[in-house]
Structure 1
Amino acid sequence: MEQFKVELPKEVTDAIKVEVLNTFKEAKNGVYQDKYPVYLTKKQACEYLNISNGTLNEWIEKEDIPFKHIGKAYRFNRNELDKFMATK
């Protein structure tokens, strides 16, 4: 059985690598986002943002971070937190 070796142009192999990496990133993001609901508690928001409770409280006090205050509970929209952190 004869085998053929095919070499693709560098542009094609680079494009394939980029697409494979993007696919892995999308899969990882999907798993990560599935771990957190759309609306987070204070504890979940701290974990999601990798910040301390004290930092979150400071941001809440300054009304620097987007949140909803419902009775005694705080809720944070995960998508709004992503946008907020992109501007930090």
Structure 2
Amino acid sequence: MNHIQFIGVSPNDLIEKIKEQLIPAIKKELSEEFQPKQPTEYLTRSQVCEMLKIDLSTLHRWRKEGALKSYGIGNRVYFKRSEIDHLMNENEL
């Protein structure tokens, strides 16, 4: 076990050193490690068709083929924007 002795250091000096050096380093490390999570944005079928410039029948076929994953909530069908963006970036020419 390590022991640290503070000889000739006043409590106020110690507090100031901690504020100046330790706290900014911890804040920087934590901000790099923990980024805020973006909320998932869901798009309707018509929004996806507009984004991809495709017909509704094409979107339906892609869903059936498994090219796009859809999420049903009640009677509605939604798509995750992040997955649509990934699909668009993956197929760029």
What TM-score comes out, normalization by structure 1 length?
0.51
Q: What is the alpha-carbon root mean square deviation over aligned residues?
A: 1.8
Pick from 42, 54, 57: which aligns with 2:57? 54
Q: 1:30 corresponds to which residue?
A: none
Aligned to 1:87: 90
Structure 1 unmatched runs, 5+: 1-37
User: Are the aligned partners of 1:45 and 1:76 in contact in 2 as well (CA < 8 Å)?
Assistant: yes
**Which TM-score applies when normalising by structure 2?**
0.49
- For 1:50 and 1:42, the matched residues in 2 are separated by 12
Corresponding residue pairs, total: 52
1:1-88 alignment, distance < 5 Å: 38-88=41-91
Structure 2: distance between partners of 1:49 and 1:61? 17
Which amino acid is 1:77 matched to?
K
Q: Which has the higher helix share?
A: 1
- CA shift in 2, pair 1:70/1:80, >3 Å: same
**Structure 1 segments of 4+ aligned residues over 4 angstroms from their partners:** none
Work out the CA distance in 2 between the residues paired with 1:86 and 1:69: 24
Larger radius of gyration: 2
The sequence identity of aligned pairs, in percent, is 35
Please, which runs of 5 or more residues in structure 2 have no aligned partner? 1-40
Q: What SS does the corresponding residue of 1:40 show, helix, strand or coil?
A: strand
Q: Give the whole-Å Cα distance in 2 for the aligned partners of 1:72 and 1:66.
A: 16
